[in-house]
Amino acid sequence: MHIRQTVIPLGGEEASREESVPFERAWLGVVSAEHARRASRHGWIQLNHGDRRNVARLRRGDGFVFYSPTERLGDRAKLRAFTALGTVADDEPHLADEVVNMGARGTLRPWRRAVDFARVHAVGLHTVTHDLALTRERNWGYRLRFGLLPLAVADFEVLRGAMERGEESPRSPTGPCAP
């Protein structure tokens, strides 16, 4: 994936031109499909129940994709789908305006990052598993418990292509995941 960068000339140079700049990093965040849809609708992400540490690792221009093991937090039925994809659009984490009720854990103001989400379709893990370096690693699923993990840029490209084409629709009626 490439991000567009506008170059503003100095002095009497030509007006402006756009260059295609490949990004250097990509990330995989783990949330339910319900949470991924909400985040993509509002143009932000939050991870690990609003903790700052993981979202602080991201940089503007990083690729980002949500993996959703379930439709809703706490569901026993497995979804196992990539549900939203975009590019980090801000420079620093920010505290949300609203306070979120975490039930027995109390309330909190979650840390978030702005993301420009692409208009894509959810894709089941089984349709891309053989194309991803991530899933070739031994016990790769164990790493998902951290909520965020680095993703090879090549894997991000595979996911972006599959999600743009809508190669397959998982069991969930997610349809396009778009803002």
**Per-position pLDDT tens, the chain of length 179:** 444 443 344 444 444 343 445 668 999 999 999 999 999 999 999 999 899 999 999 999 999 999 999 999 888 889 999 999 999 999 999 999 989 887 787 888 999 999 999 999 999 999 999 999 999 988 888 999 999 999 999 999 999 999 999 865 444 344 433 32
- In this structure, the strands spanning 120-121 and 17-22 are unpaired
Residue 15 lies in a domain: no
pLDDT at 41: 96
pLDDT at 137: 86
Residue 161 lies in a domain: yes
pLDDT at 22: 64
List the domain range (segments joined by +) for residue 65.
Answer: 27-127+151-165
Domains of the chain: total: 1
CA distances, 48 to each of 30, 42, 88 (Å): 9, 18, 17
Residue 20 lies in a domain: no
Residue 60 lies in a domain: yes
- Closest-CA residue to 123 (of 74, 175, 166): 166
pLDDT at 102: 75
How many C-beta atoms surround the C-beta of residue 29 within 10 A?
Answer: 27
pLDDT at 168: 57
Residue 41 lies in a domain: yes
pTM summary value: 0.80
CA distance 22 to 12: 28
Is the Cα dihedral 106, 57, 55, 139 positive or negative?
negative
